[in-house]
Amino acid sequence: MKSVAFPAKIANLSFPSGCSSLFFSPALPCRKLTKGTRGVGGLMSQCLSSSSQSLSSLSNSFSSQPESELLQALPSSKPKSPPPQLPWLIVGLGNPGKKYQGTRHNVGFEMVDALANAEGISMNTVNFKALFGKGVIGNIPIMMAKPQTFMNLSGESVGQIVSFYKIPLKQVLVVYDDLDLPFGKLRLLPKGGHGGHNGMRSIIDRLKGSRDFPRLRIGIGRPPGKMDTANFVLRQFNRQEQEELDYTFQTGIEAIRILLLEGINKSATFVNTRKSMEQLS
């Protein structure tokens, strides 16, 4: 057989790896090259087809890798953690010392004590001029305080706590006695004035005149006959009154739980439509 003479243009062509086998592989039958561009174009078409198959094979090798392996190759970006939840502050108003224990003016103290006992929160720390405690109700962090400044200066303690922990006023619940409510009756409001109560007056003054904080009022009733109001609020409860007051505290505990976990509207509905023990009997 005569040897084939390659034109100079074809002899100088550079083919991709693997395409040379089209010409020199012993497995392929020898055939004469067609003159002109058609024969060269056909060979180039086969080479390009071979390269395309190689790229397709490479692409398939990536797609066959597990997604987890591909993700590991990407830069990791950790999601930002949410800001810490600010606590609620629950303040009970009263006067310190044994002399005033169990008196009408101290029902705010007693309500906070009942809540602390129910939730297992210790109130033995003295801080911010108050008996102070920290805990959690559900998943809500809370702080509890009983100012030891005497009633008329309660704002000194409350103002310091609010300022130090940057507590929003809508998360400051003040619990105190109210002469205008029937004995044992509870009333929860999202805001309001001091109503002549010196402890509330002091707190509003220390909060720069703001009244936009919730309050839980506990009714102690009006003094009988011509009894002086100051003497009445410092008088202790009799046995029957204490039993009814214990029922009121249990209602108050449930109301505070609802307030923290479900909001003030639902809590106010629960409290403000609840009947006292005297009305139930």
Matching residue, tokens 């204490």 = 242
Which of 11-20, 180-189, 213-222 is least confident?
Answer: 11-20
Q: Is pLDDT at 46 greater than 80 in this prediction? A: no
Q: Is pLDDT at 263 greater than 70 in this prediction? A: yes
Q: Is pLDDT at 204 greater than 90 in this prediction? A: yes
Q: Is pLDDT at 82 greater than 80 in this prediction? A: no
Residue type, 172: V
- Percent share of the chain, pLDDT over 90: 65
* Predicted local confidence at residue 75, as pLDDT: 58
* Predicted local confidence at residue 22, as pLDDT: 44
Helix (H) or strand (E) holding 175: strand 172-178
Residue spans per domain, the chain = 88-272
Query: Contact 19/40 with Cβ under 8 angstroms?
Result: no
Mean local confidence (pLDDT), 128-154: 97
Q: Is pLDDT at 266 greater than 60 in this prediction? A: yes
Say what the alpha-carbon torsion angle 39, 41, 47, 50 is, to the nearest 10 degrees: -100
More confident call, 19 vs 248 = 248
Q: Is pLDDT at 54 greater than 60 in this prediction? A: no
Q: Alpha-carbon distance 216 to 32, whole Å?
A: 104
- What is the tens place of the pLDDT at every residue in 1-14? 545 554 554 445 55
Q: Order of strands, edge to edge, in the sheet holding 125-127?
A: 125-127, 130-137, 140-147, 88-92, 172-178, 215-219, 186-189
* Predicted local confidence at residue 80, as pLDDT: 72
More confident call, 275 vs 110 = 110
* Predicted local confidence at residue 28, as pLDDT: 45
Query: Contact 173/216 with Cβ under 8 angstroms?
Result: yes
Burial bucket for residue 274 (CB in 10 Å: 0-12, 13-18, 19+): middle
- The set of catalytic residues is 105
Q: Is pLDDT at 86 greater than 70 in this prediction? A: yes
pLDDT band of residue 37 (cuts 50, 70, 90) is very low
Burial 225-241 (b: 16+ CB within 10 A, else e): eeeeeeebbeeebeeeb
Superfamily for domain range 88-272: Peptidyl-tRNA hydrolase (3.40.50.1470)
Matching residue, tokens 């619990």 = 175
Query: Contact 130/146 with Cβ under 8 angstroms?
Result: yes
More confident call, 61 vs 96 = 96
Q: Is pLDDT at 73 greater than 60 in this prediction? A: no
